[in-house]
Chains A and B, each alone.
Chain A
Amino acid sequence: MSHAPVRAAIVATGQTDHGRRFDASLAEIAREAIDRCLDSRGLTLEDIDAVIAGNMEMFEGIYLVEQLSVGALGALGKPLYKLNTGGTVGASVALACYHMVASGRYRRVLGVGFQKQSEGSTQAAITTVGDPIWERAVMAGAIGNFASMASTYIAESGVTQEQAAKVAVKARRNACLNPHAHLKMPDVTVEDVLASDMLAYPIHLLDMCPASDGAAAIVMAAEDLAGDLADRPAWVHAVATAHDQQYMGDSPKRLAVMRSLQAASRKAYALAGIEDPLRDFDVAEVYEPATYAELAMCENLGFCPMGGGGKLIDDGVTLIDGPLPVNPSGGVLSTNPVGATAMIRVAEAAMQVMGEAGEHQIPDVKRALATGYGGNAWTDVMILSAERPK
Chain B
Amino acid sequence: MSSAASDTWIVGLGEARIAPLLDDVSINELAWEAVEPALQEAGVALADVTGAITASQDFWDGRTISSMNVNEVACGSFGSEAKVAADCVQAIGYACARIDDGDQHLNVVVAHAKESEGDAHTIELAAFDPYYERQIDPDETIVAAFQAGLLYARGGASEELSARVVAAARSRSKVLDAVSVADVLASAPTATPLRVLDRAPLMDTAAAMVVCCGDQRNKLDRPAVRIVATATRSGAYWRERADLTSVAQAGEVVREALDRAGWSLGEIDIVELVAPFAHQHLMLGEAVGLGGGESLVARFEQGEINDSGGWLAGSAGSVAGLHSVLAAARRLRQGDGRRAMVCSTGGLAAQSHHVVLLEAAP
A318 at the interface (CB under 8 A from B): no
Say yes or no: is B41 at the interface (Cβ < 8 Å to chain A): no
- With A84-B85, A107-B1 already in contact, 17 other A-B pairs whose C-beta atoms are closer than 8 Å: A58-B59, A61-B126, A62-B126, A70-B236, A82-B86, A84-B64, A85-B82, A92-B82, A96-B82, A103-B96, A103-B97, A104-B4, A104-B101, A105-B93, A243-B71, A246-B72, A375-B65
Across the two chains, which residue of chain A brings its CB closest to B70? A246
Stretch at the interface among B179-187, B285-293, B294-302, B347-355: B347-355
Q: Do the beta carbons of A99 and B101 come within 8 Å of each other?
A: yes
What is the chain A residue whose CB lies nearest that of B239?
A68
Closest residue of chain A to B238 (Cβ to Cβ) is: A67
Instruction: Judge whether B102 and A4 touch: CB under 8 Å.
Output: yes
Query: Are B63 and A129 neighbours in the complex by a CB distance under 8 Å?
Result: yes
- Whether A376 lies near B71 (C-beta < 8 A) is yes
Which residues of B in the span 109-160 have a Cβ within 8 Å of any Cβ on A? 123-124, 126-130
Q: B188 within 8 Å of A by Cβ?
A: no
Confirm or deny: B252 has a beta carbon within 8 angstroms of a beta carbon on chain A.
Answer: yes
A3-B102, A241-B51, A243-B77 are known contacts. Are A84 and B62 too (CB-CB below 8 A)? no
The contact size tier of chain A is 35 or more
Contact of B85 with A128 in the complex, beta carbons under 8 Å: no
- Contact string against A for B residues 50-94, beta-carbon threshold 8 Å, 1 for contact and 0 otherwise: 010000011100111101110110000111111111100010011
Closest to A3 in B: B102
Most chain A C-beta atoms within 10 Å of own C-beta, residue among B98, B101, B123, B232 = B101
Q: Is the pair B63, A104 in contact by a Cβ cutoff of 8 Å?
A: no
A378 to B98, CA, bound (A): 18
User: What are 18 A-B contacts with C-beta separation under 8 Å?
Assistant: A57-B58, A61-B126, A63-B59, A70-B235, A71-B237, A75-B234, A80-B234, A82-B84, A85-B82, A86-B65, A102-B97, A104-B100, A105-B4, A106-B2, A107-B1, A107-B2, A241-B81, A264-B80
B333 contacts chain A at the CB level, 8 A cutoff: no
CB contact under 8 A between A81 and B84, given known A58-B64, A63-B123, A64-B127: yes
Scan B225-261; emit 1 where CB is below 8 A from any A CB, else 0: 0000001111111001000000001001000000000
Most buried by B among A3, A67, A83: A67
B103 contacts A by Cβ under 8 Å: yes
Contacts of B80 in A (CB 8 A): 240-243, 264
Residue of B nearest to A242 (CB): B78
- Listed residue (B4, B129, B231, B352) with the most chain A CB atoms within 10 angstroms of its CB: B352
With A243-B78, A263-B78, A375-B68 known as contacts, the answer to whether A67 contacts B100 (CB < 8 A) is no
Contacts of A378 in B (CB 8 A): 65
Known contacts: A68-B127, A103-B98. The answer to whether A86 contacts B234 by CB under 8 A is: no
User: Nearest 10 pairs between A and B by C-beta?
Assistant: A3-B102, A102-B101, A80-B234, A103-B100, A103-B101, A63-B126, A241-B80, A103-B97, A86-B65, A63-B127
B57 to chain A, nearest CB (A): 7
Pairwise interchain contact B63-A132, C-beta atoms closer than 8 A? yes
Q: How far, in angstroms, from A80 to B58 measured CA to CA in the complex?
A: 18
* Cβ of B25 to closest chain A Cβ, rounded Å: 13
Residue in chain A with minimal CB distance to B256: A79
Asked if A5 contacts B65 (CB within 8 A), the reply is no
Cβ contact within 8 Å between B77 and A84? no
Contact B235 A68 (CB under 8 A): no
Q: Which residues of B contact A60 (CB under 8 A)?
A: 130
Q: How far is the CB of A236 from chain B (nearest CB, A)?
A: 11
CA distance A176 to B231 in the complex (A): 44
Q: Determine if B64 and A79 form an interchain contact, defined as CB atoms under 8 angstroms apart.
A: no
Partner of A85, one of B4, B65, B96, B352: B65
Residues on the A chain within 8 Å of B57, using CB: 63
A264 to B348: give the CA distance in the assembly, Å: 37
Task: Say whether A260 faces chain B, with CB atoms less than 8 Å apart.
Answer: yes
In contact, A49 and B1 (Cβ under 8 angstroms): yes
